[in-house]
């Protein structure tokens, strides 16, 4: 049962993130709804773009989505823009989402080196921190070695990482598709090197590794090897154009490890809790059908 995997007494989690994620996906389905309280969505809900409006929006989304989702993905930037009061709301989102049984993937896309990376890792992965999540997104584009403090913290705290690999933002191919000779893997693209490093981190993990890749649901197709024995976060579902057919085409036999992420399409159904939950259920059913 998922509940038996959630927490032990004390600061450590009771199972590695990959095992908890696999159990949550099997129980609740693969959809990872985003909680992205940007100004246009607040206005669409009839809320002011203020800390109070942010709180109303975010906690309504948690009430609707966290009890029925394997994972929720708050975007840190939309909370940070409101300063300390916004961070206080984010802390509540983290705590209340987990209390409702959802894992929390905090979308922060941090990337740095040395002690700075260690500081970020402690902020977002150490259970002693009020901002600690089950997993975070990180950027490897200062070199994969720059994410080592995040890897070490994830291992120490049974947390997870989702490392940017094949994103669909404009200009991404200038970096991600560049090729170089790697001393361990031979000639690979930058994205291919990231995926190979993740596969090495996840080697031997059962039922699923804790180190995932971010691969956009709108990239069309790829020849890169996505068999990393870890989760594959696929942002871009819904309003950005990604759908179940695209996810099936991109991920092929790895589709059972995919977390399709949708934000605007689901959040646009608010502010009704029931309407939000129904929008999430429709999306979840479409992706769940891919692995039945």
Positions marked catalytic: 109
CA end-to-end distance (rounded Å), the chain: 20
Tell me the two tokens of residue 111.
């990337």
Nearest to 280 by CA among 66, 111, 91: 66
Residue 110 CB contacts under 8 Å (≥ 6 apart), including other chains: 117, 120, 124, 136, 137, 138, 139, 150
| Half-sphere exposure at residue 264, Cβ-oriented, CA atoms within 13 angstroms | 13
DSSP designation for 73: E
Alpha-carbon gap, residue 111 to 141, rounded angstroms: 8
Residues in the chain: 292
């Amino acid at each position: 049962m998922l509940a038996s995997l959630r927490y032990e007494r004390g600061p450590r989690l009771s199972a590695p993130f990959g095992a908890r994620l696999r159990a949550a996906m099997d129980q609740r389905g693969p959809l990872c709804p985003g909680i992205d309280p940007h100004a246009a969505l607040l206005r669409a809900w009839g809320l002011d773009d203020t800390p109070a409006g942010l709180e109303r929006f975010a906690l309504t989304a948690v009430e609707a989505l966290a009890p029925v989702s394997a994972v929720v993905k708050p975007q840190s930037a939309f909370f940070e823009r409101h300063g300390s009061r916004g961070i206080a709301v984010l802390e509540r989102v983290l705590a209340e989402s987990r209390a409702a049984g959802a894992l929390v993937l905090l979308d922060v896309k941090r990337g740095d080196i040395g002690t700075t990376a260690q500081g970020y890792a402690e902020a977002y992965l150490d259970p002693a921190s009020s901002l600690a999540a089950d997993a975070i997104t990180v950027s490897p584009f200062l070199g994969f070695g720059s994410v080592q403090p995040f890897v070490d913290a994830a291992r120490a705290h049974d947390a997870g990482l989702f490392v940017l690999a094949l994103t669909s933002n404009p200009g991404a191919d200038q970096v991600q598709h560049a090729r170089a000779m790697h001393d361990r893997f031979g000639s690979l693209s930058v994205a291919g090197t990231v995926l190979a490093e993740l596969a090495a981190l996840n080697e031997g993990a059962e039922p699923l590794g804790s180190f995932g890749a971010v691969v956009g649901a709108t990239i069309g197709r790829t020849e890169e090897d996505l068999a990393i024995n870890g989760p594959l976060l696929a942002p871009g579902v819904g309003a950005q154009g990604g759908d179940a057919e695209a996810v099936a085409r991109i991920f092929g036999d790895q589709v059972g490890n995919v977390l399709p992420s949708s934000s605007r399409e689901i959040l646009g159904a608010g502010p009704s809790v029931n309407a939000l939950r129904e929008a999430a259920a429709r999306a979840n059913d479409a992706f769940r059908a891919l692995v039945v």
